[in-house]
Amino acid sequence: MVDPDYATRFSDFAVPSARAQARKIALSLLAETRLRTRAYRELLQTPRVHFLYLHYVFQDEEAGFESLLEWLGDNNHTLLSYSDAVKRAESGEIDRPYVCFSFDDGVDNCLKAAAILKAHGAFACFFLNGCNLEEEHVIKPMLYTYRQPGRKPARYLSLGEVEQLKNAGHEIGGHTYHHLNLAEASDDEIDQDLQRNRAFLEPRFGPLHHFAWPFGRFSCFSQAARRRVLQAGYTSIASAERGIHRTPGGPGLCILRDNIVAAWPLSHARYLMAQSVARASTAPPSWEDLPA
């Protein structure tokens, strides 16, 4: 069975291990086999709200990102803004396949990804850490990044570039100030960090409504952290737990997001999306799964 964490573990910022390469091969075989079946193709036509998220789209990945958007448009998927997707997931007004995009951390090549989205009539939410915007930081690429022909090291967005995203119609969300693991932080540390991120971002980019916690797994969040995020004024909270939304979740539901890497073959993204739909027949992850 393919590791369900393939999406986050096989990253272009890491040197792929032999095990990761084996997972990639296994996923290719599964995707090729199962996507040929009518049942799997029909899964992708299931009415739902499907939140997809990325961290980056490098230049050599732009064509793959375009292909994904074209496939979604050609296969009955309606692209929504993040806020509209949250509203439909909360209300259950879901009569067709809906998809929205978000990006975590604010890497500079998201500017091009945002332009590609807008060309397809789509808008994303960018979840940002204030500490990465105060000065020019550089994400130090690992060897695998250098192995990609023509790929340049990424850096974090500047304040002016975030302003460009906002002016183009995209949304800005909170991701903590220091990219904290909120499961390991004290209540005071969480409060101070959330307040600092709001104080830094909101005067520049307007009110923040949406939040995604760093690292995204339930093991990196807690019931106490959730209460504090809501007390800080956020109206939605997103995980990086895989899944979809098919029925009314009500205000403050746990938003599930599927990680996508634009460098993947399109069949990988389609297969993992179909898997999320198939798993929706069982109880989805919820706030009750959080540690106290």
| pLDDT < 70 stretches in the chain | 1-21, 135-150
pLDDT of residue 29: 76
Kindly state the tokens that stand for 203: 């005067």
Q: What is the pLDDT of residue 149?
A: 63
What pLDDT does residue 6 have? 35
Separation in Å, CA 71 to CA 36, 76, 77, 204, 284: 16, 9, 9, 35, 26
User: For residue 194, what are the CA distances in angstroms to 21, 134, 150?
Assistant: 38, 16, 38
- State residue 5's pLDDT score: 42
What topology is assigned to 6-289 in CATH? TIM Barrel (3.20.20)
Looking at residue 38, its pLDDT comes to 81
User: Residue ranges of the domains in the chain?
Assistant: 6-289
pLDDT score of 203: 96
State residue 2's pLDDT score: 36
pLDDT tens figures, 226-239 = 999 999 999 999 99
Alpha-carbon distance 239 to 275, whole Å? 18
The sign of the CA dihedral 237, 238, 239, 241 is positive
- Residue owning tokens 């439909």: 88
pLDDT at 23: 73
Q: Which residues contact 36 (CB under 8 A, 6 or more apart)?
A: none
Nearest to 88 by CA among 218, 198, 233, 249: 249
Measured between alpha carbons, how far is 131 from 145 in angstroms, rounded to an integer?
A: 24
